[in-house]
Amino acid sequence: MNEPNHEPPSTGCPASPAELSRRKFLARLSLAVGGLGAVIVTVPVAGFLLAPFFVRRQEVWRSVGKIESFKIGATSAVNYEDPSPLPWAGVTAHTAAWLRRVNADTFIAFSINCTHLGCPVRWLPKANLFMCPCHGGVYYEDGTVAAGPPPLPLPRYPVRVKDGEVQIQTSPFPITK
């Protein structure tokens, strides 16, 4: 192949030592000043992109219904909203839990997310099992693993009864370690 000539154009006369050291200085100066410019632009960009990940969000209690609307022994899906969603989040701000009324005033709130890869598990009320639609994970009534690939039991969320309302505390998405 014919390689184009990559040599810099000749400067005419050979450079003197003073000229060479001046050139070295100018090259270093340009790199240093250029680097400063890059930092001025990059730092705020990196900060803007990364800062949200270092803010701990404030979890809140969300009412999911009146206590009498839950039958003792039954497990039902409840929907609630994330804490302080972005104004344009739309329906993506919603989340769900499987809520079981164990007795008059005890509730358990299970995460709907399979501990394998996070897919939403379904409760089969007659079979008393949670089943995952993705890779076949199955959990017993108490959330322990019954079958398939899940490494951990279904996580539980804090739940309380306040002023006749059942409330679930919002939680970050449960990511299996």
Partner 1 sequence: MLKRFLHRVWDWVDDRTGLPAMIGRMATHLVPPDAKWWYVFGSATLCAFMIQVVTGIALAFSYIPSASEAYATLHFISSEAPFGHFLRGLHYYGASAMVLMVGLHMAQVFLAGSYKFPRELNWATGVLLLAFTLVMGFTGQLLRGDQNAVWTVVVAAEQAGRAPFIGQWLAHVILGGDTVGGATLTRFFAIHVFILPGFIFAFVGLHLWLVLRHGISEPPKPGKPVDPKTYRREYQELIEKSGKPFWPDAAWRDVVFCVAMIVVIALLAMVSGAPQLGKAPDPGIIDATPRPDWYFMWYFAVLALLPPETERYLIIYGPLLVGMVLISLPFLFNRGERSPRQRPWAIAVVLMIVLMITTLWVEGVKSPWSPNFKAQPLPASVVGATNGPVFLGAQLFDDKGCLNCHMIADDGGRRGPDLTEVADRLSKNQMILRIANGAGNMPAYAANLTPAQMDALVTFLQTRKRQLP
**C-alpha–C-alpha distance, residues 116 and 24, integer Å:** 58
Q: Does 92 bind partner 1 (CB under 8 A)?
A: yes
Query: Judged by CB under 8 A, which of 116, 157, 159, 168 binds partner 1?
Result: 116
Closer to partner 1 by CB, 70 or 80: give it: 80
Which span (11-19, 30-38, 52-60, 102-110) binds partner 1, by CB under 8 A?
Answer: 52-60
Q: Does 87 bind partner 1 (CB under 8 A)?
A: yes
Single-letter amino acid, residue 79: N
Closer to partner 1 by CB, 67 or 129: give it: 129
Which span (8-16, 32-40, 133-141, 160-168) binds partner 1, by CB under 8 A?
Answer: 133-141
Q: Does 9 bind partner 1 (CB under 8 A)?
A: no
Q: Does 61 bind partner 1 (CB under 8 A)?
A: no
CB-based contacts of 86: which residues, under 8 Å, 6+ apart? 93
**C-alpha–C-alpha distance, residues 133 and 34, integer Å:** 54
Cβ contact 132:113 at 8 Å = no
Single-letter amino acid, residue 101: R
**C-alpha–C-alpha distance, residues 70 and 48, integer Å:** 44
Q: What are phi and psi of 51, to 5 degrees?
A: -50, -40
Q: Does 6 bind partner 1 (CB under 8 A)?
A: no
Residues near partner 1 (CB under 8 A), total: 53
Question: Would you say how long the chain is, in residues?
Answer: 177
Query: Judged by CB under 8 A, which of 61, 140, 156, 161 binds partner 1?
Result: 140
Query: Tokens in use for 81?
Result: 């909203």
Q: Where are the alpha helices (DSSP H) in the chain?
A: 17-50
What is the contact surface with partner 1 in residues (CB under 8 A)? Answer: 1, 52-53, 57, 77, 79-80, 82, 85-96, 112-113, 116-122, 124, 126-129, 131-136, 138, 140-141, 146-149, 151, 172-173, 175-177
